[in-house]
Amino acid sequence: MQQDNFDLSKLTGSVVIIPAAGTGKRFGGSQPKQYQILNGKKILDITLNIFLNCEKIEKILLIVSPEDKLFEELDSVLNEKIILIDGGEQRQISVNNGLRYLYDNGLPEHTPVLVHDAVRPCLSKRDLNELLDVYNKHHTACFLADPVADSLKKINQERQVKESVERENLVHALTPQLAAFIDLKNALSHVNKLGIIVTDEVSALTDCDIEVSAVFAQDLNPKITHKKDLELASQILIGRDQQTKND
């Protein structure tokens, strides 16, 4: 994919990276889950619109597979806020490709950079604004989180319970995850250099002893991993639309 270059040195807003190069093996189906239809729209279009409609977000880096042609069918793909970047086989490679692009095009090192899952289309406006407000107030890395409410059990390969896990002070790490550009770039470079595989950006940041704080989400923000998750996401979005109409 031909990636356009932009002078990002004068950017004053935030940047969001959306890794969308995954194949969705756990989801199944003939096409990646980010292109599945949810309430009449592609999941990825719904996710993109969250950030396109946020004035605090100045640029969106959409990371897609080099073999991906489905992105061309997205409603918002030609929006001037969006920059298309080639992704990799793993999430952290895709995110690192985005960070390298930002570095090569002069993004100021203290610019807030968010990373958000392509298949979390239920992120609410108030949770996004709260996350940005917390970062702008404290200038430390932060992420949306949901306290663990269920009992936790550790099992063996035979699925037999071996022990109970204390849930106090445990949270589900959601997205977006947010940090200063320089911190995020250095953290991903560090784990990549050591060959460490991380499943999210918070893991990379904490591996570099960078302080990260949890911001509790007020609204449901599930990740669509399995087909059953589509129904949950559908009901969340329908309920939210109805609430907006009633307000």
- Quickly list DSSP for 104-160: HTT--TT-EEEE--TT-TT--HHHHHHHHHHHHHH-SEEEEEEE--S-EEEE-TT--
CATH number at residue 114: 3.90.550.10
What is the C-alpha to C-alpha distance for residues 242 and 78, in angstroms, rounded to an integer? 29
Entry pTM: 0.94
* Count of domains for the chain: 1
In this structure, is residue 97 part of a structural domain? yes
For residue 11, CA distances in Å to 85, 129, 189 come to 18, 19, 23
In this structure, is residue 5 part of a structural domain? no
**Percentage of the chain exceeding pLDDT 70:** 95
In this structure, is residue 241 part of a structural domain? yes
The β-bridge partners of 216 are 145
In this predicted model, what pLDDT tens digit does every residue of 99-145 receive, in sequence order? Answer: 999 999 999 999 999 999 999 999 999 999 999 999 999 999 999 99
In this structure, is residue 7 part of a structural domain? no
H or E element at residue 76: none
Strands of 1-93 (E only): list them.
14-19, 37-38, 41-42, 57-64, 82-86
3-class SS at 197?
A: coil
20 pLDDT exceeds 70? Answer: yes
Contacts of 244 (CB under 8 A, 6+ apart): none
pLDDT (0 to 100) of residue 244: 78
